[in-house]
């Protein structure tokens, strides 16, 4: 994130840029904005007329003690007040409605963009901070683009009316009091810079606090297991300290600014009363005129003050805008091809997957993670990709799903380079089963049904049976209607994995990409998901990325990656006969007791049968 010193442009320029960038989002609501401004103008006009009627009342009814002179201006005053109230109510309600619509639209826009950003963006930005940007910063920008604009226009009109009326009443006195206006302006300018910096510090600290709380809640089990509660509390205390200091400075500065304006206003009012007393004693002014004049000048201060406040709002909004623009200006690593480049293909692919001489490095990291890598897999085939940690296996999955494009070479589906297919179509044809099961905060039924649009209950039950999940689901307190949530312990890792398999069954894509499907599962749980996985793999192109070589015995082909290069390829039995990395990896694996389904390379039975060499673990 940029620090204040690193921002290349001055504040007013950044405010202008922010306004220009976010203004288009008001499209469709601009006529409502105009209506809000019109209402505010009518309300200010009503206020002006009311003050003039008040002067009439003072001079004609109060000073002369004439009741008959009371009724007419009083009636008019009441009528004007009612009109002002109705218009004020309409304008303010409409203003709030328009402002909230803007917030909803802006948040949706940033959220949609955020969802297109590549994985490395989320590795570089803390989740809590991003949440803060979508909430607090979005609100701050609304204050600039909608409320701020309406307020600015309204304020200018109010100043125009009240100053105009004061000038009409006594132009010489009015000019004398207007001399004080630059004082207000200079005071605001003096404070704006410092308040902006404090506002930015406060926003950043808000983001940091949300991040710490969010990270701690996500890792609460680990925190407790490692007795890290104190460290987490210290972390929160540190961030809260930063926020506290920024908030206190901000409150102090704001208060100082407000009180200073108060003193300036009092000075001006006293000056008017002094001048007025002089004028009345010389017979050049009536009491009613003086009171009305003082009222106009008094009414001028809030809009003048608003203009100053507006500067502060702009300041806070610019800090928020900078943070949101960081998201909006981050480019997705991949985009849909232009329509002219899309290769027309059937919506459902056959499922032939291919990588041709793929070389790839992550943005911002020059090290090549995949080097001249090629392979292909066809429907009905099971390809296991293994290798040491950091060899590039998960990167390959990211390229197959087109989270990134290769530097050279190509990834193809049914012979078509994936960058010539619409992203949604490509991803519809590939089911990814990641290491961590995606859990939606919803019922088990909805979690499975999310695999396919309009899935019926029968479809869900059918998929759950095939995934060997039906029995444990019906044993849950509310069966398929049991609500599960990310991070809850209602289901074990193996059960969650079977829910994910049921979802994948429903999804029914021709290509299946499994990333470490048995990670985090004990041996028995891992065995339990093998049968449903095999059912899921039937007839599909299945690519399994794994360290768990128990799955390799099932594979039609095993690819061994090392430092981004394909170093071995063949069946499990063929690779065992070679003294290469595969044999080393298998040798390094701990043997599993109580079930002995992980025979070592030295085991001749394994050489012919496979690492998961029990008869029932073979594919049909």
Q: Does 352 bind ligand ATP (CB under 6 A)?
A: no
DSSP 3-state assignment of 9?
A: coil
Minimum CB–partner distance for residue 332 and ligand ATP (Å): 14
- How far, in Å, are 399, 412, 464, 553, 571 from residue 617 at the CA level? 30, 31, 21, 8, 16
CB of 551 to ligand ATP, least distance (A): 14
CB of 364 to ligand ATP, least distance (A): 7
Stretch of residues binding ligand ATP (CB under 6 A), selected from 149-157, 238-246, 361-369, 471-479? 361-369
Identify which of residues 246 and 545 has a Cβ nearer to ligand ATP in the complex: 545
222, 228 contact by CB (below 8 A):
yes
For ligand ATP, the binding residue among 365, 458, 477, 616 (CB under 6 A) is 365
| Torsion of Cα atoms, 272 then 275 then 278 then 284, to 10° | -90
Q: How far is the CB of 568 from ligand ATP (least distance, A)?
A: 15
Q: Is 403 in the site for ligand ATP (CB under 6 A)?
A: no
Q: How far is the CB of 369 from ligand ATP (least distance, A)?
A: 4
In sequence order, which residues have a C-beta less than 8 Å from that of residue 305 and are 6 or more positions away?
184, 261
C-alpha closest to that of 91 among 55, 139, 42: 42
How long is the chain? 620
Choose which of 311, 392, 517, 612 interacts with ligand ATP (CB under 6 A).
392
Pick between residue 119 and residue 539 the one whose CB is nearest to ligand ATP.
Answer: 119
Q: Which stretch binds ligand ATP (CB under 6 A): 17-25, 91-99, 323-331, 383-391?
A: 383-391
In whole angstroms, the minimum distance from the beta carbon of 396 to ligand ATP comes to 7
Among 6, 68, 389, 579, binds ligand ATP (CB under 6 A): 389
Q: Is 391 in the site for ligand ATP (CB under 6 A)?
A: yes
What is the side-by-side strand order in the sheet with 368-377? 368-377, 353-361, 408-413, 416-417
For the bound state, the minimum distance from the C-beta of residue 14 to ligand ATP, rounded and expressed in Å, comes to: 30
Site for ligand ATP in 99-138 (CB under 6 A): 119-120, 123
Our finding on whether 581 is near ligand ATP (CB under 6 A) is no
Q: Does 610 bind ligand ATP (CB under 6 A)?
A: no
Tokens of 528: 């339990």
Is 276 among the residues that bind ligand ATP (CB under 6 A)? Answer: no
**Cβ–Cβ under 8 Å, residues 59 and 178:** no
Question: Alpha-carbon distance 521 to 504, whole Å?
Answer: 19
Q: Does 406 bind ligand ATP (CB under 6 A)?
A: no
Q: Left if phi > 0, otherwise alpha if psi is -120 to 50, otherwise beta: which for 342?
A: beta
Stretch that binds ligand ATP, among 390-398, 413-421, 502-510, 535-543 (CB under 6 A): 390-398
Q: Which is nearer to ligand ATP, 327 or 545 (CB)?
A: 545
Residue span binding ligand ATP (CB under 6 A) among the ranges 24-32, 384-392, 436-444, 534-542 = 384-392
| All residues at 6 or more sequence positions from 385 whose CB lies less than 8 Å from its CB, including other chains | 393, 396, 543, 544, 545, 546, 558, 559, 561
510 binds ligand ATP (CB under 6 A): no
When binding is defined by CB under 6 A, the residue of 195, 294, 316, 369 that contacts ligand ATP is 369
Please tell me whether residue 385 adopts helix, strand or coil conformation.
strand
C-alpha–C-alpha distance, residues 185 and 187, integer Å: 5
Q: Residue 334 in contact with residue 212, Cβ under 8 Å?
A: no
The nearest distance, CB 117 to ligand ATP, in angstroms, is 12
- Number of residues lying near ligand ATP (CB under 6 A): 14
DSSP-derived 3-state class of residue 337: coil
Q: Is 427 in the site for ligand ATP (CB under 6 A)?
A: no
Q: Which is nearer to ligand ATP, 369 or 430 (CB)?
A: 369
Interface residue with ligand ATP among 395, 495, 542, 617 (CB under 6 A) is: 395
CA-to-CA separations, 603 to 166, 167, 587, 612, in angstroms, rounded: 102, 104, 11, 12
Give the residue with the Cβ less far from ligand ATP, 243 or 373: 373
SS3 271: helix
6 binds ligand ATP (CB under 6 A): no
Nearer to ligand ATP, 389 or 579 (CB): 389
588 binds ligand ATP (CB under 6 A): no
Q: Does 394 bind ligand ATP (CB under 6 A)?
A: yes
Task: Give me the least distance between CB of 124 and ligand ATP, in Å please.
Answer: 9
Of 405, 320, 327, 325, whose CA–CA distance to 117 is shortest? 327
Matching residue, tokens 């106009």: 296
Cα 301 vs. chain centroid, distance in angstroms? 39
166 contact partners, CB below 8 Å, separation of at least 6: 173, 174, 177, 293, 296, 297, 300
Q: According to CB under 6 A, which one of 390, 422, 486, 604 is a site residue for ligand ATP?
A: 390
> What's the sign of the alpha-carbon dihedral 226, 230, 233, 237?
negative
Stated as kind and residue range, the H or E segment containing 408 is strand 408-413
**What is the binding site for ligand ATP (CB under 6 A)?**
119-120, 123, 362, 365, 369, 387, 389-395
């Amino acid at each position: 994130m940029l620090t204040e010193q690193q921002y290349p442009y001055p504040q007013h320029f950044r405010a202008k840029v922010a306004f220009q960038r976010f203004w288009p989002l008001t499209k469709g609501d601009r006529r409502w904005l105009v209506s809000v401004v019109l209402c505010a103008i009518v309300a200010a006009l009503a206020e002006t007329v009311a003050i003039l009627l008040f002067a009439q009342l003072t001079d004609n009814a109060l000073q002369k003690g004439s009741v008959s002179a009371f009724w007419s201006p009083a009636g008019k005053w009441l009528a004007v007040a009612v009109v002002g109230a109705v218009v004020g109510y309409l304008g303010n309600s409409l203003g709030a409605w328009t402002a909230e619509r803007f917030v909803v639209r802006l948040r949706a826009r940033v959220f949609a963009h955020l969802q297109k950003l590549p994985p490395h963006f989320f590795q570089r930005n803390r989740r809590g901070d991003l949440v803060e940007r979508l909430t607090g910063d979005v609100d701050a920008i609304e204050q600039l683009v909608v409320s701020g604009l309406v307020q600015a226009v309204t304020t200018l009109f109010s100043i125009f009316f009240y100053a105009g009326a004061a000038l009409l009443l006594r132009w010489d006195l009015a000019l004398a009091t207007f001399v004080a206006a630059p004082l207000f302006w200079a005071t605001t300018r003096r404070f704006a810079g410092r308040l902006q910096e404090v506002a930015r510090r406060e926003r950043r600290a808000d983001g940091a606090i949300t991040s710490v709380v969010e990270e701690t809640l996500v890792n609460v089990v680990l925190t407790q297991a490692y007795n890290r509660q104190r460290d987490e509390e210290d972390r929160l205390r540190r961030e809260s300290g930063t926020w506290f200091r920024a908030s206190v400075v901000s409150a102090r500065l704001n208060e100082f600014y407000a009180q200073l304006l108060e003193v300036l206003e009092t000075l001006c009012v006293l000056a008017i009363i002094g001048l007025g007393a002089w004028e009345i004693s010389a017979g050049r002014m009536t009491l009613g005129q003086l009171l009305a004049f003082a009222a106009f000048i008094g009414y001028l201060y809030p809009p003048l003050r608003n203009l100053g406040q507006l500067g502060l709002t702009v300041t806070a909004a610019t800090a928020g805008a900078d943070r949101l623009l960081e998201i909006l200006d981050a480019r997705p690593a991949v985009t849909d091809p232009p329509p002219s480049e899309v290769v027309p293909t059937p919506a459902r692919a056959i499922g032939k997957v291919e990588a041709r001489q793929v070389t790839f490095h992550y943005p911002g990291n020059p090290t090549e993670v995949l080097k001249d890598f090629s392979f292909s897999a066809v429907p009905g085939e099971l390809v296991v990709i293994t290798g040491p940690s950091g060899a590039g296996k998960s990167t390959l999955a990211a390229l197959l799903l087109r989270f990134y494009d290769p530097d050279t070479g190509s990834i193809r589906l049914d012979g078509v380079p994936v960058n010539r297919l619409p992203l949604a179509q490509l991803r519809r044809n590939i089911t990814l089963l990641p290491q961590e099961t995606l859990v939606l905060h919803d019922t088990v039924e909805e979690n499975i049904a999310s695999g396919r649009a309009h899935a019926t209950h029968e479809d869900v039950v059918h998929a759950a049976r095939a995934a060997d999940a039906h029995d444990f689901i019906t044993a849950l307190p509310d069966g398929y209607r049991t609500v599960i949530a990310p991070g809850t312990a209602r289901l074990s890792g193996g059960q969650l994995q079977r829910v994910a398999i049921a979802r994948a069954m429903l999804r029914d894509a021709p290509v299946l990409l499994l990333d470490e499907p048995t990670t985090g599962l004990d041996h028995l749980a891992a065995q339990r998901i093998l049968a449903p996985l095999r059912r899921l793999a039937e007839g599909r192109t299945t690519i399994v990325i794994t360290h768990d070589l128990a799955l390799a015995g099932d594979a039609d082909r095993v690819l061994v990656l090392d430092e981004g290069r394909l170093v071995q390829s063949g069946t499990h039995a063929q690779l065992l006969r070679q003294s290469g990395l595969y044999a080393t990896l298998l040798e390094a694996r701990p043997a599993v007791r109580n079930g002995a389904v992980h025979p070592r390379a030295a085991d001749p039975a394994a050489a012919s049968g496979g690492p998961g060499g029990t008869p029932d673990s073979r594919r049909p």
